[in-house]
Structure 1
């Protein structure tokens, strides 16, 4: 019986390996990145466009959110090609969203010279997460300092209403969302790993406990938000909310060696596949799914359970084979978006890195 079980497990791993080895992720990454700079980039302004449709863009450059996806994609491309400078042009664009207005500096949702706009805690967090990933690889001081600045801005969105947690949007006191708390935990954890300053770890654990207590759903993934002060739950489920909490659990385990965090992460991973993976693919938001992939891959590095990766590989294949146009632009809609191209660059780059490690 043991021999049969071992053979089956080995066969599954070998099959997954064979599928991954047959895919040329590098070609895909290069095609998508080329499209971004030929169809979604304003070189004169060093800014990016939201979509490839002039009317849909309404004369504006991209919101910040898609740039945070592109920044993470740029880091993953540099992981594969360390001598290239993919991050630099993206950060040059992002700096045009910077504002030093009170109570703390941060990045607003639109280009400052074009419009005064709200600041979202999650937008800023995604920047810090990408930069801290880059810092761990390059040790460039500016990445660490920008992330510390974002952390200080993030703290202005924390209070004890609803028992704790970060708001989603500056000045909007109506909700505390998993999408601002999950990545907030990751920012604090990354800063702790880089500096060993206990205050960062204390923040991460405090927010992790709050989010798990208030937003973990009975099905094992996470609700979207807690409305305050009513304490009513927004019961929507999104893959990225599962992804940030999954990844947070893995990192907390790696730091503390407390098995409760690893068990949390495993539980979210199993639930995520069950809840979200239907008919051979994940729900339609590629970037949400890329954030889930981060968590699944982080768990793989700890558990070495390659079978757990298969639904991520399958979804990435589904997108390329079924939702790609003749120009190699990805997306189910006729109008193609910067965030979709960026998300799939990130996903394919992470899968390519895994393939290279086999």
Structure 2
């Protein structure tokens, strides 16, 4: 099995936790919100989505809403649907009687996005009928959340839906050169945002079913992603073009999913030495992520909602694994900042999570469902 051999960690990252903790102490640490408060923020956000974003299509939601004219847009893009699925699943885990009746029709409603064109079907970017326009990363997010929904509800049909969705994602792997493409057409780049969640989804499916072919596939993609898309600081570049040109922008969700990938690799690895190396690598990426995306002065996440929601979740998973209350509290403090200062006059949370009550003309399902998921997952960590 491929396993990480971490390079020498730059000296400016070796004490990231200490630096961040010291900076927050000097500025005056904000209290972490309570479990009840995180749940309140998450459920309030979902309730607004239920009433203000509901689509005419059964169980589904609109993509955007005008703050001034109270006008909704057309159907949500699959990107927003994926994060809404994760938010509903988190809510249903905590309050099944209240939120399963919201989760189940949503999953059923997503069938209008399923496009069987080509050799392998997958979720389209918008409802059919339309020419196919499918993204491998969109489908990877949905596969991960469908597996979570199956665990939460006990519904095995959701696991089968996750399998067909994951099979579509893995059909995007370049069998000759390696790596998962970002988009079905054109296949002009391989992005961390398609490879990292593909690894996570494949490993989770292996854990749930015992099908080792998915584990083998995850190991292969893990090795390719680290070889071609990881920077020396542990963080991940956005993409690589077919001509070898790197898109060097770094987004929090890419590194976040590789934290999760390393945690899962450690769980499935039987060799004790290699298991420890995966955990060391997860911590290295997490420390570098905190250094880049947590603002020392405020403790806020310095990235957009969809990217930051994944970072918050990955950091909390790592903190849970390590029993690291300091990392957990830094993450919760960032979400406390969002909950206490992020809402605008319209009551919605910002696109960028370090912003204070910024004015917006429109707000999206993607942004608000990201906040709901983050708050509800945070509550589950307390």
Structure 2-normalised TM-score? 0.83
Separation in 1 of the partners of 2:309 and 2:157?
A: 26
How do 1:112-151 residues align onto structure 2 when only pairs under 5 Å count?
112-113=128-129, 115-151=130-166
Quick one: distance in 1 between partners of 2:33 and 2:47? 23
* Corresponding residue to 2:378 among 331, 351, 358: 351
Q: Does 1:317 align with 2:332?
A: no
Which moved further from structure 2: 293-302 or 234-243? 293-302
Of residues 233, 239, 245 in structure 2, which corresponds to 1:225?
239
Question: Aligned equivalents of 1:47 and 1:203: distance in 2?
Answer: 33
2:362 aligned to which of 332, 335, 343: 335
CA deviation vs aligned residue, 1:14-62 (integer Å, no higher than 9, x gap): x999624376122212211111011111245543111112999895211
Show the counterpart of 1:211. 225
TM-score (norm 1): 0.89
Residue aligning to 1:247: 260
Partner SS for 2:75: coil
CA offsets 1:85-144 (integer angstroms, 9 cap, x no match): 13213213321111111121111001113x434100011111110011122333311111
Determine whether 1:32 maps to 2:32: no
- Cα 1:151–1:108, aligned 2, differ >3 Å: closer, same or farther? same
* Local SS of the residue matching 1:219: coil
CA separation in 1, counterparts of 2:241 and 2:301?
27
The match for 1:273 among 290, 294, 305 is 290
Aligned to 1:101: 117
CA contact (8 A) 1:224 1:237 kept: yes
d(CA) in 1 for partners of 2:330 and 2:133? 36
Closer, same or farther: CA 42–58 of 1 in aligned 2, 3 Å: closer
More helix by share: 1
CA contact (8 A) 1:67 1:90 kept: no
* 8 Å Cα contact 2:64-2:73 kept in structure 1: no
Whether contact under 8 Å (1:300, 1:308) holds in the other structure is yes
Which of 166, 169, 174 is the matching residue for 1:154? 169
**1:131–1:144 CA contact under 8 A, matched in 2:** yes
Long gaps (5+) in structure 1: 1-7
Q: Which residue of 1 aligns with 2:81?
A: 67
**Cross-structure match for 1:303:** 322
Shift of 1:160: 4.0
Structure-2 residue corresponding to 1:237:
250
Q: Tell me, what secondary structure is at the counterpart of 1:102? A: coil
SS at 1:52 equivalent: strand
Contact 2:239–2:247 under 8 Å retained in 1: yes
What SS does structure 2 have at the residue aligned with 1:236?
coil
User: Hey, which bits of structure 1, 4+ residues long, moved more than 4 A?
Assistant: 15-18, 54-59
Q: Does 1:282 align with 2:301?
A: yes
- CA gap of 1:227–1:253, structure 2 versus 1, over 3 A, is same
Q: 1:45 to 1:22 in 2, by over 3 A?
A: closer
In the alignment, structure 2 segments of 5+ residues that lack a partner are: 1-20, 351-357
2:354 aligns to what?
Answer: none
Give how far 1:320 is off: 2.2
Task: Determine if contact 1:273/1:311 at 8 Å carries over to the other structure.
Answer: no
Per-residue deviation, residues 248-291 of structure 1 (Å, max 9, x unmatched): 10011012152221111011110000011124222241121111
Q: 1:77 to 1:17 in 2, by over 3 A?
A: farther
Contact 2:62/2:73 (CA < 8 Å) preserved in 1? no
Higher RCO (CA 8 Å, separation ≥ 6 residues): 2
Give 1:82 shift: 2.4
Q: Is the 8 A contact 1:110 1:117 kept in 2?
A: no
User: Per-residue deviation at 1:327?
Assistant: 4.3
Q: CA RMSD in A?
A: 2.6
